[in-house]
Amino acid sequence: MEYKISARAASLTPSLTLAIDAKAKALKAEGQDVVGFGAGEPDFDTPQHIKDAAAAALAAGFTKYTPSSGTPELRQAVADKFKRDNGLDYKPSQIIINCGGKHSCFNVIFATCQDGDEVIIPAPYWLSYPEMAKLAGAKPVILPTTDKTEFKLTPEQLRAAITPKTRLLVFNSPSNPTGSVYTPEEARAIGDICIEKGVLIMSDEIYEHLLYDGVKHQSMASFSSAHYEHTIIVHGLAKAWSMTGWRLGFLAAPQPIAKAIDAVQSHSTSNPTSFAQKGGVAALNGPQDHLKTWMTEFDKRRKYAWERLNKIPGISCVNPKGAFYLFPNISGTGMKSTDFCAKLLEQEKVAAVPGIAFGADDYIRLSYATSLANIEKGLDRIEKFCISLKG
């Protein structure tokens, strides 16, 4: 039997991060001492009060369908979050609860883009964005940036890339994979151009609370009423509440877009898991002090790893101001990212993600969502590896 795969599905590139992770896990299962820098999730447990709320909901029989866009209670909690953290006014009807932030992104792109549209995606990008554009029939237009601009898109670069077909800009600050954070002035200037040209912005703000060195995040929707009208914020509980496995994301959109996304979701996933949503309410409405403890720990690791990386021959790394990733430039080793990561795993048993997965082949991504002891061991090995390349 010959199976016909749809052109859209066949056009997708499978996730390289998941492939690296699988290879590292397989080596570990063989008993090898692998240091993993591949993690895209915090290494901390979900706070207890959140787990308790979901467990209580499960015990109480809260196990049936909810409205497809989420429970009124959670939509209100999300609206309250946007008011509290970002000074933004959203009605609960403008909020949709999704099955993870990834699903939020997918729904936004699927509901706003179609065949022939162009979606502008600055690189290095979170690897799912271009594939989502392709699934919607749209064309990803990749705008490369480098460490020289701290991986930030310039207004001139954006202006030159916009065509009559441009429908959406994907904006992600703080960024996965680079950890870069746009200043409010820089973000506003990017938004201004989109407003002038009638381009929508999908602003992925899932790392908004993961910031270092006193830098500030300001939501793209908050600069003016025009920014609000052009922006769809995507967000989720995975990172700042360490709830990756719960599959809970959310978005805030102008009313007509929220309505369209509601229709898409009602015919695809329906509601996110009922009792997980109760955990989501506890996460958003409950105490937030866990994050301070986590950020202190992340910051220690970030400083240590960043300093060490810059002392390794062939490697240079900009200081990331957000998220939990470092994105060192490896071009000084004379290798490209896939080769570098494959040999690093083979020779030194260190798993890192090649930058090519994020559209940047001169870099690798290292996640510091792992213990300081692991980071130390892993960096010792990367150092040894790079010195061996010189020798």
Ligand X SMILES: *Cc1c(COP(=O)(O)O)cnc(C)c1O
Rank residues 100 and 191 by Cβ distance to ligand X and give the closer one.
Answer: 100
Closest to 203 in 3D by CA, of 265, 122, 261: 122
The label of the residue with tokens 């179609």 reads 114
| Closest CB 373 distance from ligand X, rounded Å | 25
Specify the residue, 24 or 237, whose C-beta has the smaller distance to ligand X.
237
Q: Give 245: exposed, middle or buried? Use CB within 10 Å, 0-12, 13-18, 19+.
A: exposed
- Least distance in angstroms from the C-beta of 93 to ligand X: 22
Residue (74 or 386) nearer to ligand X, CB: 74
Tell me how far apart the alpha carbons of residues 288 and 279 are, in angstroms, rounded to a whole number: 14
For ligand X, the binding residues (CB under 6 A) are 40, 100-102, 126, 172, 176, 204, 206, 236, 238-239, 244, 249
Nearer Cβ to ligand X (47/314): 47
CB of 55 to ligand X, least distance (A): 21
Tokens 């992600």 sit on residue: 172
For residue 124, cis peptide bond before it (omega within 30 degrees of 0): yes
Nearer to ligand X, 57 or 238 (CB): 238
Between 102 and 308, whose beta carbon lies closer to ligand X? 102
In angstroms, give the least distance from the CB of 194 to ligand X. 19
Pick between residue 169 and residue 386 the one whose CB is nearest to ligand X.
169
Name the DSSP class of 35.
E
Shortest Cβ 174–ligand X spacing (Å): 9
User: From residue 292, how far is each of 209, 218, 263, 296, 316 by CA, in Å?
Assistant: 10, 19, 38, 6, 29
Comparison of 206 and 386: residue with beta carbon closer to ligand X: 206
> What is the distance between the alpha carbons of residues 258 and 263, in angstroms, rounded to a whole number?
9
Spatial distance between the Cα atoms of 71 and 56, rounded to a whole number of angstroms: 16
> Rg of the Cα trace of the chain?
21
How far CA 132 is from CA of 121, 136, 140, 191, in Å, comes to 11, 6, 9, 22
Give the whole-angstrom CA distance, residue 113 versus residue 101.
Answer: 18
114 burial level (CB within 10 Å; 0-12, 13-18, 19+): exposed
Q: Which is nearer to ligand X, 119 or 315 (CB)?
A: 119
CB of 311 to ligand X, least distance (A): 28
Structure tokens at 7: 């052109």
Using CA atoms, how far apart are residues 212 and 218, in angstroms rounded to an integer? 14
- Write down the least CB distance from residue 198 to ligand X, Å: 25
User: At its nearest, how many Å lie between ligand X and the CB of residue 388?
Assistant: 32
Taking the complex as a whole, the smallest distance from the CB of residue 96 to ligand X amounts, in Å, to 14
